[in-house]
Homo-oligomer: A and B are copies of this chain.
Amino acid sequence: MAVATQSLEELCINSIRFLAIDAVEKAKSGHPGLPMGAAPMAFVLWDRFLRFNPKNPKWFNRDRFVLSAGHGSMLQYALLYLAGFDSVSIEDIKQFRQWESKTPGHPENFMTAGVEVTTGPLGQGIANGVGLAIAEAHLAAKYNKPDANIVDHYTYVILGDGCNMEGISGEACSFAGHLGLGKLIALYDDNHISIDGSTDVAFTEDVSKRFEAYGWHVQHVKEGNTDLGAIADAIEAAKAVTDKPSFIKVTTTIGYGSPNKANTAGVHGAALGGDEVALTRKNLGWEYEPFVIPQDVLDHTRKAVERGAGYEDQWNKAFADYKAKYPQEAAEFERYVTSKLPDGWDKVLPTYTAEDKALPTRKHSETCLNKLAAVLPELIGGSADLTHSNLTEIKGKGDFQKGQYQNPNIHFGVREHGMGAICNGIALHGSGLIPYGATFLIFTDYMRAAIRLSALSQAGVIWVMTHDSIGQGEDGPTHQPIETLASLRAIPNLTVIRPADGTETSGAYKVAIERAKQNAPTLLAFTRQNVPNLAGTSIEGVTKGGYTVVDSDGTPELIIIATGSEVNLAVTAAEKLTAEGKKVRVVSLPAWDLFEAQDAAYKESVLPKAVTKRLAVEAGSSFGWHKYVGTEGDIVSIDRFGASAPGGVCLEKFGFSVDNVLAKAKQLLG
């Protein structure tokens, strides 16, 4: 139909569609199909429901919107542009998928204001949404008062078939149902098409029934292409259900409007092509040139600017009232949202002497977490069903459960991947909460995609990983990390810390908390087994990533470099060598990337280039260690899978004994 006969709403929806069509066409790359099909539900949501302030995308009490089907990024960029966000101009849209543009291939929160989380890897966004809703519920339970709702927003997610096929979405949505997160509303773009074609080839389950089984409130909009009223009614109904998350299946046509490509996989992930774009223009009655949006449309959609300013004003007033009535709560809340740490917070971190009792570093981790929680109530998290192995409970604080959202201890269930993305969502809520997620180190393999996204999307999460070596023992090779540390150290922007004892554990938490407040994740690796406290360790040393723990006078003949439970072995071996008249230094290297970030002089002072006799000792893979031991050094490591036996036996059998370290050291010394 011609423009003249289209309603304003139809024009708005077609504006979204053609921004997507034309941007993908110009880039010769991208995914037009989802924006074309999901434009009606997205428009209704943004136009009638979503509360946000385009001129202050970080306004605290905004509704959160997540495009879990991140490949449809042009949908989000079109919405941001139409709503008047400064982050996405029409010029930015013309730069879709180009170097350093604000409109990258998938939504990236660190590139584009108004994008809450980074999506694209399927299923992550809906799980982030669960995290955002948890953050909201937690803060609301903590700070709202009978006469003041300062935390009060919805989390809306659009997800597709791909998201629903991924296990991570099942984990997170099962958990959201358990928690009864009533302010989480997911719109499922049910378009029956994925990259391989019809979902008939691989995905014929009853998705709605599955969400009912999870405990969600489930609705179906049968005509999602055109029935805007039904979409709006469903969202209203979803908001009315306050004790369950809501799942709205919206049946749509992928590539709606394209005469030859609608409802095919061809429109999923490729430009329509010039001819089909022209036919689609004709079919949808769209008379505008690429990147031209009718003024009527902009006049309407940009009302969001005034509306948003009003929302924020209203909230600011409400918060001022709150502050007057509840100064203490308001002060804490303000500290949270400005990502500040209270003065002297790190004074609670204990240090130890060699006389203190040998303990597992996971036990020291428990001490740190509990001492920190007393001064940093923004800590919230838990374990994937290993609470009493990971030792991550904040004691006396209660469990985060339906009706108990004020409590910080989350039982994620055996859902590592979901936990990961939920923690990312909590961090990216931007409210100063510091989420932590825990499991055995080996099971980072189950949640690696989420850990990577924490590093990429600047989510200040603390990953608490215990049972960090073959010292794990009897559970055997399925539970013993070998290559795990190497594989995590290789992730950009992720600081991996493997502390040697109690004092280094405190150092690890000092780094992790500071990084969290700077929107950067840290992964901590702790032992299952006891380790002695060492005389030479320090918090400051950990913050530098690597430092000398034990040294002889003058230039050493040999440097032994170790991490975690093996630093103790290195120190004992060094003592014996020193007694034999050798000059030996022991370097603890708990955090490789922090060490690399030090200046050259410091690095040279710790690892002088001239000292080429170097021995690394770590109960894990040798992979990566040649950077520190060079071509003339040696490595006590384990480059095969582990074995089921008591932890001490495993360590001994695989060469993590003083005798073996001594023997290797002597070989190097010649």
B209 near A212 with CB under 8 A, answer: yes
* Option from B195, B205, B411, B624 in Cβ contact (under 8 Å) with A387: B195
Given contacts A165-B414, A205-B174, A653-B99, contact A478 B195 (CB under 8 A): no
B203 near A413 with CB under 8 A, answer: yes
Most chain B CB within 10 A, of A29, A162, A475, is at A475
- Chain B, Cβ-Cβ closest to A201: B411
* Cα A178 to Cα B200 with chains together (Å): 9
Residues of B within 8 A of A487 (CB): 448, 483, 486-487, 490-491
B631 near A385 with CB under 8 A, answer: no
Residues of B within 8 A of A205 (CB): 174, 177-178, 213-215
A99 near B645 with CB under 8 A, answer: yes
A644 interface hit (Cβ, 8 Å): yes
Q: Measured between C-beta atoms, what is the minimum distance from A597 to chain B in Å?
A: 12
Chain A 520-556 interface 0/1 with B at a Cβ cutoff of 8 Å (1 = within): 0000000000000000000000000000000000000
A195 near B106 with CB under 8 A, answer: no
A104 interface hit (Cβ, 8 Å): yes
A202 near B630 with CB under 8 A, answer: no
Chain A 98-115 interface 0/1 with B at a Cβ cutoff of 8 Å (1 = within): 111100111010000000
* Cα A479 to Cα B31 with chains together (Å): 14
* Cα A640 to Cα B165 with chains together (Å): 30
Given contacts A99-B645, A383-B196, A478-B70, contact A204 B210 (CB under 8 A): no
A492 interface hit (Cβ, 8 Å): yes
A170 interface hit (Cβ, 8 Å): yes
> Which of the segments A116-124, A332-340, A574-582 contacts the partner chain?
A116-124
* Option from B71, B201, B646, B650 in Cβ contact (under 8 Å) with A399: B201
A142 interface hit (Cβ, 8 Å): no
Residues of B within 8 A of A418 (CB): 167
Q: Measured between C-beta atoms, what is the minimum distance from A564 to chain B in Å?
A: 17
Residues of B within 8 A of A414 (CB): 122, 161-162, 165-166, 194
Given contacts A98-B645, A475-B120, A626-B627, contact A449 B446 (CB under 8 A): yes
* Cα A190 to Cα B490 with chains together (Å): 40
Q: Measured between C-beta atoms, what is the minimum distance from A403 to chain B in Å?
A: 13
Q: Measured between C-beta atoms, what is the minimum distance from A371 to chain B in Å?
A: 23
* Option from B196, B209, B477, B624 in Cβ contact (under 8 Å) with A411: B196
A121 near B413 with CB under 8 A, answer: no
B120 near A401 with CB under 8 A, answer: no
* Option from B178, B448, B478, B639 in Cβ contact (under 8 Å) with A448: B448
Given contacts A29-B646, A209-B213, A478-B106, contact A483 B492 (CB under 8 A): yes
Contact sample, A vs B, 10 pairs, CB 8 Å cutoff: A97-B644, A106-B478, A106-B479, A165-B171, A167-B415, A205-B213, A483-B491, A486-B624, A487-B487, A631-B631
Report the 4 A-B pairs with minimum CB-CB distance, sorted nearest first.
A167-B167, A104-B644, A202-B413, A483-B490
The interface of chain A, by Cβ under 8 A from chain B, is 27, 29-30, 70-71, 97-101, 104-106, 108, 118-122, 161-162, 165-171, 174-175, 177-178, 194-196, 201-207, 209-210, 212-215, 383, 385-389, 399, 401, 411-418, 442-443, 445-446, 448-449, 452-453, 455-456, 473-479, 482-483, 486-487, 489-493, 609, 621, 623-624, 626-627, 630-631, 639-641, 643-646, 649-650, 653
Known: A202-B413, A482-B492, A493-B640. 10 other contacts (CB 8 A): A97-B474, A98-B646, A99-B643, A105-B644, A106-B475, A119-B478, A175-B202, A205-B214, A453-B478, A631-B631
